[in-house]
Amino acid sequence: MLPAIRPLIRHQALRSSLFSRPFTTAKVDQVVSTNEADPSTKDEVLHILDEFNTMKKKKAATAARVAQRQAKGFQSGTTYHPDELGQPRTRQQRPRPVKPSQDPFEVLGLDPLKEYKNFTLLSHFVSDIGKILPRESTGVSAKNQRKLAKAIKRARAMGLMSSTSKSSASTAFFGV
């Protein structure tokens, strides 16, 4: 919030008259004129108060929708399933991971098969439990995904990478 607006909002008359019910421009004019503020401050105060009122209306509409959803008409003598007695379950969607737009190996000009000794690079393409990540989540092309899988398997066979977790055997051995 702008420093020039803070004294206006702190002003008791503005707070009591404008935030308790919908504001009118006459009251803003009155408060702004008593505080001797410039006209641009008046416009900024009106904009802030307008946003405040729209936010208040959205909260009231949301509360009304929630109350309508929770209101259930039960009748005496009727049998209900236990699921009907509780709150309705809404299914939440998992956030989708952002897929890289380009193949990182093509951008860097690297051959994944020749990078089998670079376990720090390969560890970015392995999950926490040691699985090779699918190409949908890494953005690697199909050709480079096959080479990457072969490079990871070579590094595991040589003992450079762990096959059960993301941490590599060499970092634990060398203490790096």
Where do we find the tokens 């999950």? 127
SS3 132: strand
Where does the pLDDT of residue 7 fall: very low under 50, low under 70, confident under 90, or very high at 90 and above?
Answer: low
Cα–Cα dist 124/121, whole Å:
6
Whether the per-residue pLDDT at 79 is higher than 80: the answer is yes
SS3 111: coil
Model confidence over 97-143: pLDDT tens digits? 777 788 999 999 999 999 999 989 999 999 999 999 998 888 999 99
Residue 126 lies in a domain: yes
Which residue range(s) make up the domain with 35? 6-66
pTM more than 0.85:
no
Question: What would the mean pLDDT of 43-48 be, rounded to a whole number?
Answer: 78
Same domain (yes/no): 110, 167: yes
For 10-38, b/e burial (b = at least 16 CB within 10 A) is ebeebeebbeeeebeeeebeebbeebebe
Residue 13 lies in a domain: yes
End-to-end CA distance of the chain: give it in Å, rounded: 48
Model confidence over 146-172: pLDDT tens digits? 999 999 999 999 999 988 888 655 555
* pLDDT > 90 fraction of the chain, expressed in percent and rounded: 30
Residue 156 lies in a domain: yes
Residue 34 lies in a domain: yes
User: Which one-letter amino acid corresponds to residue 98?
Assistant: V
Cα–Cα dist 111/52, whole Å:
56
Q: Indicate the number of domains in the chain.
A: 2
pLDDT greater at residue 48 or residue 153 = 153
Where does the pLDDT of residue 18 fall: very low under 50, low under 70, confident under 90, or very high at 90 and above?
Answer: very low
> Which pLDDT does position 142 carry in this prediction?
94
Same domain (yes/no): 108, 170: yes
Residue 78 lies in a domain: no
Domain harbouring 143, CATH code? 4.10.640.10
Cα–Cα dist 145/128, whole Å:
18
Same domain (yes/no): 109, 162: yes
Whether the per-residue pLDDT at 45 is higher than 90: the answer is no
Residue 80 lies in a domain: no
> Which pLDDT does position 33 carry in this prediction?
56
State both tokens at 82: 């236990």
Q: How many CB atoms are closer than 10 A to CB 48?
A: 16
Whether the per-residue pLDDT at 174 is higher than 80: the answer is no
Residue 1 lies in a domain: no
> Which pLDDT does position 131 carry in this prediction?
94
For 119, 125, 160, 168, the CA distances from 171, given in Å and listed in that order, are: 10, 17, 9, 6
Q: How many CB atoms are closer than 10 A to CB 41?
A: 17
> Which pLDDT does position 89 carry in this prediction?
67
Q: Which of 18-32, 51-65, 159-173 has the highest mean pLDDT?
A: 51-65
SS3 126: strand
Residue 57 lies in a domain: yes
